[in-house]
A and B are shown apart, each in its own frame.
Chain A
Amino acid sequence: MNSRRNWSFFFAELHESFSMALTALTAHKLRSALTLLGVLIGVFSIIVVMTAMRVLERNVENNLSQLGSRTFAIQKWPEVQFGNNSDWEKYWRRKNITLELGETVEKKATLASAVGIEGTFWGGQIQTRYAKTAPTVQLLGETTGSFEARNWTVEEGRIFNDNDVDDARDVCVLGAALAKSIFPFGSPVGNELKINGINYNVVGVLASKGASLGGNQDNFVIVPLTTALNRYGLRWNGLGILVQARTSAVYADCEEQVRGILRAARKVRPGAADDFELFSNDSLIEQFDKFTRAVRIGVVVVSSIALLAAGVGIMNIMLVSVTERTREIGVRRAVGAKRRNIMGQFIMEAVVLCEIGGVIGVVLGILGGNILAWFMKVPPAVPVDWSVLGLLICSIVGVIFGTYPAYKAANLDPIESLRYE
């Protein structure tokens, strides 16, 4: 037999198996639908959760990527906390991060290209002669290094210089969105505005980072940290330090260096845990992944059990199908079908049944998971890897639970089955 004939043989068989499966399934629509419902639910639950996780992950990534690359931050409090809150007291007892500490880092961190110290202050009301905002504009106190570390670029005017910070001048830099809303008619640079009634001079406007999730990122006003501290005092949560490593290559070393400086300055005993939080974008995302891992594993386990149950249902229905079609099997055997042909056909039927359920499950799962994206106003996510895996699992379930009925079908005696009523 030449290879061309082999191939056509294979395709004829495959095609016949497939069309037989479809004929069999459409002949009992309700029965098929009920059977594949199990697979559908199993796959749906995997895909819907994985899609939702993808959406959340993307949202978190977007929210967290405020730090520039090569930048990490040091705070008294963790930036985000997933899960339990039991460590609250531990964080509370820590010493505040002060301006002096930040300056020590700035002085000693030789691997850093920029060190910024910042504090967030309460929301304020900004007033110009054109407009007045709600009293919710975020007030940030920053040093010169913050601009580089934060990846802020100036659209107009200038950033703070050392004199602004050292002398605690009454100057400010505006976020793009805020600038537009309070100075609708022209450049804000050089103009005066009032933050909670106190006059400041606008020296610069930042380039827009775009309106992203959960509101406008650019709705803030920045004043020199020293000015803010003089006027409003150190808040309970202390200051944050932003460090940008010189290059990606020295990033890890830079992190270690800063960690050492901080531990020495805060007199942490060797071997004791850090009494501050050091984090970067990556570590935050990693933290989120760790938090969601348990959920994902749980879903996979539960769905596997659902698929197992669905598989048993499929085996059951396939056994019924084999009995019902005993005569058909006899006819096929009589006209020359081999055992393996019959076996292949019934396994194919089980796989097709599973795959129909699987495909519907994947589609519904992706749609369902993306409802979350729609609510969170995040671009939709399609977990291709999980979809493929889900369909693969469906096929495996079909093969595993279709094999016994198929084996039974293949081993029917052709004479008996031709006579079967």
Chain B
Amino acid sequence: MSLIHLRNISRCYQMGAETIHALRDVSLEIQRGEYVAIMGPSGSGKSTLMNLIGCLDTPTAGHYELNGANVSEMDDNQLAEIRNREIGFVFQTFNLLSRSNALHNVELPLIYNGMAMEQRRRVALDALAQVGLADRVHHKPNELSGGQRQRVAVARALVNKPSLLLADEPTGNLDSRTGAEIMTLFEELSRKGNTLVLVTHEEDIAKHARRIIRLRDGLIASDEKQAAGPG
């Protein structure tokens, strides 16, 4: 059974009198442990696809199963639970809580699954150590560099041991050197067996993935596997 199982997914938005078909009848399987890049120009539906895969949104039509759970039928609370349990988000703009230190930012998902305080702290510290920020746990985001901030975000995404790491333009706000650092980190995470889905419009970034799915006008234009990326 694949980790992500999308069957005939459509997503429409109502914009005034006009109906916009962001995704049209998309079917897609992603296996556990895969490293996938989703590419496409703006308006191609890649954000919509990411929101659906990330359980932030539900499809207008079609069937989505994540790790055996039927997401397409879930209500808001169940979606929140599955996001908490199964998905780690990494955003282009980091989206850290600016007034909280790195540790608290990483602890955030654990708070919502009700982990006890001491255990939470230990797990969060572990996650921060994993991304190489063991010495920065009490720094606030504005005291960290862009690369470090994104590492905190990665630690936050990993802390719940999700089955899927979903990164939306993770290097978009970073210079190429720190961007490369983050990509190396992803490489490493992938090697450790994490499932990664990367949404990007940059070819160099996508090249790191083992599989590239290209979207155009709400349809999958191509879906190709490639050998291990550079680096």
Contact = CB atoms under 8 A, between A and B. Distances in A.
Contacts of A415: 51, 56-57
B139 interface: no
- Interface bracket on A: 20 to 34
Interface in A390-421: 414-415, 418
A32 interface: no
Interface in B91-112: 91, 95-97, 99-100, 108-109, 111-112
B56 A9 contact: no
Given A335-B89, A339-B76, A8 B115 contact: yes
Contacts of A42: none
Contacts of A15: 117
Contact of A12 (B51, B57, B115): B115
A23 B117 contact: no
B39 to A, nearest CB: 20
B194 interface: no
Nearest to B76: A339
A334 B57 CA distance: 11
Given A9-B114, A27-B99, A336 B85 contact: yes
Interface string B32-60: 00000000000000000001001011000
Contacts of A327: 95
A159 to B, nearest CB: 74
Contact of B114 (A12, A328, A333): A12
A16 B111 contact: yes
A328 B94 CA distance: 11
B28 interface: no
Interface string A337-355: 1111100000000000000
B83 interface: yes
Contacts of A12: 111, 114-117, 120
Given A23-B99, A414-B56, A336 B77 contact: no
Contact of A341 (B57, B99, B112): B112
Nearest to A335: B109
Interface in A314-330: 327-328, 330
A9 B117 CA distance: 10
A192 interface: no
A327 B141 CA distance: 15
Residues of B in contact with A, size category: 20 to 34
Contacts of A13: 111-112, 114
Given A330-B95, A418-B91, A5 B114 contact: yes
Nearest to A414: B56
B80 A336 contact: yes
A338 B80 contact: yes
A8 B56 contact: no
Nearest to A331: B95
B73 interface: no
Nearest to A411: B76
B81 interface: yes
Nearest to A26: B99
Interface in A12-39: 12-13, 15-16, 23-24, 27
B149 interface: no
B51 to A, nearest CB: 5
Contacts of B156: 335
15 contacts: A9-B114, A12-B116, A13-B114, A328-B97, A331-B97, A332-B112, A335-B108, A335-B112, A336-B81, A336-B85, A337-B112, A338-B76, A338-B81, A339-B76, A415-B51
Given A336-B81, A336-B113, A339-B80, 10 more contacts: A13-B114, A23-B99, A331-B95, A335-B83, A335-B84, A335-B112, A338-B76, A339-B76, A415-B56, A418-B95
